[in-house]
Chain A
């Protein structure tokens, strides 16, 4: 794998390229609309949805406000159940811990369950540098890995690929990684899924080490929970001798009973199903059943910084359902790669700048990758007020300075002067309308930065006010 999010262009640059790609926009539109309709139907079945949402929000808030307490409790529970707990302050430390654990087994290969946390820390690349091969086993992650590509969606990482592209990738790359794609492979999804089944089966049946993330970690009992669809998760969590789970510290929930909320809200929010096909839970090790060695790596990597921001802290409630991506008009048009980060879409626009700070150009651009329409907040099953955090982060970016922002402030002051007075507004509108043929695609001078990232709207022949006045006059004449 050579794919990396490092050095990705800022959102506006990447978005311009993505929105010009008609095939990508078609794929995205079809995918996001299908999922969002299914989600709406599944959520509509539960008449207590708003109460489930409030309860989920509160459970996560309770955990975050007392995270130190719950982390210590989680560590004690996992240890008591026969697991080992490791603490990783940052990505480098997490990668080092996992690499050392794999080396200790004497193995050079491992299978992986799809996990955002391990993508965030670049685990596959770190393992590769240490001479260890990590096989992604989620079908979409397999497509991304074989295509030497980057994921573009939290739930369906290969959402930007269509069946013809996937067939080509399988035919071209599978043989180099293991069992080759069968001759005469068609682009029928059934045939493609079968090819993946055969390709991965030999890996599942022979690999001794697995790496996973977790959707939830229950402090009270030390139980880890993984929700999935294909069964690749079950394979990785059950067949190997050693299991290593890399889990963000914010995935903790207090009690086993709290799960009943999220097992209802997560599947319905993410895939629009009443329940995902497979959910696995395990607590430490079980003699005679599954891996006999279990390691939990608790990952900070910027999460404690997010926690320190009282407004931004709510981003840590996220349960990675991706409903906010599927509803977002900006994501629908640009796709996930434009965000240049592991976490795309609205949640990525608030999580990435908080995890990494707003000092970088890419991170500073992300709080602006939104129309602030609020749809993401409406669908969020843990009620993260994404627009509130976006505005909060914009303030942070703006107060850090920059020429663009001074011009924006001046423009806003001028607009206030015009909009404040009815006569001034009318004059300004007429002036603009009469000059419409003269307006370039790109504004000159320092405000050019604004049109670098936006298409100038077409200016109508007359303003609404003028149109209304003419219409009223016409009516009076007729009557």
Chain B
């Protein structure tokens, strides 16, 4: 298709005949005097914004995290969950101890499925992900102003599919991962990684503009803010 490539570029150049030949892209000035932050940062704002999206939010001390994870999964009635291969084992240890050995577990399989690719790097199949009750992950960045959590596939986050197919997403946010606003997040993130920005659970307003939570992604988002 190189013919079309040259044709399109030639047409674009011809269309821009009014642009002086000496003008370079940076010569078109972009005023960057917009705010880096709107001054409403921090965990309190993040909680407020997340709850506005009807996500479930708790704040916990660092040493209470495993118990908070277990409590959330029990409230939810989860029998099995999936976690990224490198999620700290301690996060789900309490829940496993409490649920492990239960009569239903034989049917449910292992309570904690690790997406460790069973040595060949393929990870769990879609069927397995579709069958679990939820997923527990960490995150890369959380934006207070907009109530947004960003996953970048880094530590404790796993493949994109993990937080997409299960119906329930329990996400752990460390206080030091919270930034004030969108410009801070963009500056902190690596565009070469595949990014998923999450602002509340899946939602649609396509039917008479009535907001309905949950169409395809996880229909429930629960967030534990640590520290």
| Chain A residues in the interface with B (C-beta under 8 A) | 27, 30-31, 34-35, 45-48, 51-52, 54-55, 58-59, 61-62, 65-72, 81, 86-89, 93, 97, 137-140, 143, 156, 158, 162-163, 166, 189-190, 192-193, 196-197, 200-201, 204-205, 218, 221, 223, 229-232, 234-235, 238-239, 249, 254, 256-261, 263-264, 271, 273-283, 286, 288-290, 298, 300, 304-305, 307-308, 310
B183 on the A face (CB < 8 A): yes
Contact A68 B199 (CB under 8 A): no
Choose one: A46, A72, A231, A260; the contact of B215 (CB below 8 Å). A231
Residues of A within 8 A of B38 (CB): 45-48
Residues of B within 8 A of A31 (CB): 208-209
Residues of A within 8 A of B8 (CB): 71, 87, 89, 249, 298, 300, 304
B104 to chain A, nearest CB (A): 25
B2 to chain A, nearest CB (A): 8
Interface size on B, residues (CB 8 A): 78
**Nearest-CB residue, chain A, relative to B158:** A289
Choose one: B9, B34, B196; the contact of A55 (CB below 8 Å). B34
Contact B209 A35 (CB under 8 A): yes
Contact B182 A263 (CB under 8 A): yes
Contact A51 B33 (CB under 8 A): yes
Contact A189 B191 (CB under 8 A): no
Residues of B within 8 A of A47 (CB): 35, 38
Contact A231 B164 (CB under 8 A): yes
A26 to chain B, nearest CB (A): 11
Q: Once the chains are docked, how many angstroms separate the CA of A275 from the CA of B144? A: 11
Residues of B within 8 A of A281 (CB): 191, 194-195, 197
Contact A274 B160 (CB under 8 A): no
Task: Decide if the interface of chain A is mainly helix, strand, loop or mixed.
Answer: helix
Contact A66 B34 (CB under 8 A): no
B180 to chain A, nearest CB (A): 12
Which residues of B9-58 are within 8 A (CB) of A? 9, 11-19, 23-25, 28-35, 38, 49, 53
Q: Once the chains are docked, how many angstroms separate the CA of A456 from the CA of B101? A: 81
B126 to chain A, nearest CB (A): 5
Contact A289 B160 (CB under 8 A): yes
Given the known interface contacts A45-B38, A51-B34, the answer about A288 and B123 at a Cβ–Cβ threshold of 8 Å is: yes
Residues of B within 8 A of A271 (CB): 205
B97 on the A face (CB < 8 A): no
Contact A260 B183 (CB under 8 A): yes
Q: Once the chains are docked, how many angstroms separate the CA of A48 from the CA of B164? A: 34
Given the known interface contacts A283-B194, A307-B16, the answer about A234 and B186 at a Cβ–Cβ threshold of 8 Å is: no
Which residues of B116-172 are within 8 A (CB) of A? 117, 121, 123, 126-127, 130, 143, 145-148, 153, 159-161, 164-165
A131 to chain B, nearest CB (A): 23
**Nearest-CB residue, chain B, relative to A75:** B5
Residues of A within 8 A of B2 (CB): 87
Q: Once the chains are docked, how many angstroms separate the CA of A93 from the CA of B215? A: 34
Residues of A within 8 A of B196 (CB): 234, 278-280
Contact B161 A239 (CB under 8 A): yes
B202 on the A face (CB < 8 A): yes
Residues of B within 8 A of A61 (CB): 28
B108 to chain A, nearest CB (A): 21
Contact A163 B207 (CB under 8 A): yes
Choose one: B19, B35, B186, B218; the contact of A256 (CB below 8 Å). B186
**Nearest-CB residue, chain A, relative to B130:** A205
Residues of B within 8 A of A218 (CB): 191
Which residues of B195-222 are within 8 A (CB) of A? 195-210, 212, 214-218
Contact A156 B31 (CB under 8 A): no
B103 on the A face (CB < 8 A): no
Contact A189 B126 (CB under 8 A): no
Q: Once the chains are docked, how many angstroms separate the CA of A78 from the CA of B227? A: 40
Q: Once the chains are docked, how many angstroms separate the CA of A305 from the CA of B15? A: 7
Contact A66 B28 (CB under 8 A): yes
Q: Once the chains are docked, how many angstroms separate the CA of A232 from the CA of B17? A: 42
Contact A275 B147 (CB under 8 A): yes
Choose one: A68, A89, A139, A257; the contact of B204 (CB below 8 Å). A139
**Nearest-CB residue, chain B, relative to A282:** B194
Given the known interface contacts A140-B206, A238-B161, A259-B186, the answer about A274 and B199 at a Cβ–Cβ threshold of 8 Å is: yes
Residues of B within 8 A of A87 (CB): 1-2, 4-5, 7-8
Residues of A within 8 A of B75 (CB): none
User: Among the interface residues A189, A190, A192, A218, which one has the most CB atoms of the partner chain B within 10 A?
Assistant: A189
Residues of A within 8 A of B5 (CB): 87
